[in-house]
Structure 1
Amino acid sequence: MTSSLASLPAKTSAGLLLRRPPPVVLRTPRHHLRSPSYSTSAAASIPPSSPPACTLSSLDHVVLTVRSIKDSVDFYTKILGMAHQTYPAPSDNTEHHALLFGGSKINLREFKVGQNKANPNSEPKARTVLPGTADLCFMTDQDVTDVVGELQTRGIEVLNVDGHAPGQGLGKKVARRMGARGPLRSVYVRDPDGNLIEISNPTT
């Protein structure tokens, strides 16, 4: 499997201007403040109408815990056109793996038995790290209707979105969803670990 969706014509997103969202004001409901069962943590003690600790502007990267670095790299590069990057960890100089696309990055962490135990080379990390627990949406400039055919040509099952059982040649493949900036047309596949991967176009 050597061909890639990246071989199809695609527009660059380098020229897109992302508008910074307005500051968000967190408000603590008054009935929560009065409830005896409400948490007494520092977050709960923030008075109403306090400004946030900071206002986030964008997502830089996510970390995927995978069973096999090789299988994941093959899928995301050969099927979804991402670039594979290796780099030394600043803490111990061990080789780390990442996937690059657009202006974002996915760091790959290979799952090992006992990984939830303290490990100075991978701290801090999520409380529970397991392969197959992610649900991610990616944007493409290629029409998702064409993407369905390209995926199937490469032996990738495109999931039905209307309840039909898989493998019967039936079922709707393209769904309407709501994304961060508006409505989407989306198709779904699974990566080698079973993570749900949504591939989308903006629509009206």
Structure 2
Amino acid sequence: MIDHLDHLVLTTSAEEATTHFYVNVLGMTLETFGAGRKAFRFGNQKINLHIKGHEVEPKAHLPVPGSLDLCFIAAVPLDQVIQKLGSNSVKIEQGPVERTGALGKIRSVYVRDPELNLIEISEYLSAN
């Protein structure tokens, strides 16, 4: 019944720092839509941004910054990701470690965004 994820919503109380992280560190594209709403586009997906206290209706029951745990598949080798994180002073909390993704084994690092959401960045270990 479900084919893929189109977008998800990230709630932030630190819009500028969050935008910097997703655009300048992770390389997503900032998009403005609707009545000045913002989103971070990557591949065929996007992350819509809600500002804490000014969320768009309808919204999650308890939208709070720092409650997400996301895994992204990198478009470049994980070693390049690690270098980019280091050059932006982003601390790796764990990794690289081996995990299991939706399509098989992945190699991952874990970092925190400015709202302390857990961000896993991965590469598949074999062609899938």
1:186 is aligned to 108
In 2, the alpha carbon distance for the partners of 1:137 and 1:111 equals 23
Paired-residue identity, %: 39
Shift of residue 123, structure 1, vs aligned partner: 1.9
Q: CA RMSD in A?
A: 1.4
Mapping for residues 59-74 of structure 1, pairs under 5 Å = 59-74=5-20
**Match for 1:155 among 89, 92, 100?**
89
Q: Cα distance, 1:64 vs. partner?
A: 0.4
Matches within 5 A, 1:1-204: 55-88=1-34, 94-112=35-53, 122-160=56-94, 173-204=95-126
Name the SS for the 1:174 alignment partner: strand
Number of residue pairs aligned between Structure 1 and Structure 2: 126
Residue identity matched to 1:127: H
Deviation of 1:177 after TM superposition, in Å, equals 0.8
Unaligned 5+ segments in structure 1 are 1-54, 89-93, 116-120, 161-172
Give how far 1:190 is off: 0.5
Indicate the structure with greater strand content.
2
Dislocated runs of 4+, deviation >4 Å: none
**1:165 corresponds to:** none
How many angstroms apart in 2 are the aligned matches of 1:125 and 1:71?
A: 22
3-state DSSP of counterpart to 1:141: coil
Q: TM-score, normalised by structure 1?
A: 0.59
Q: Distance in 2 between matches of 1:153 and 1:123?
A: 38
Report deviation, 1:141: 2.9
- 1:5 corresponds in structure 2 to none
Q: Which has the higher contact order (CA 8 A, sep 6+)?
A: 2
> Could you tell me whether the CA contact under 8 Å between 1:145 and 1:174 is conserved in 2?
no
CA-to-aligned-CA distance 1:48-73 (integer Å, 9 cap, x gap) = xxxxxxx1111100000011222211
Q: Distance in 2 between matches of 1:130 and 1:123?
A: 15
Q: Is the 8 A contact 2:74 2:81 kept in 1?
A: no
Q: Does the residue aligned with 1:186 lie in a helix, a strand or coil?
A: strand
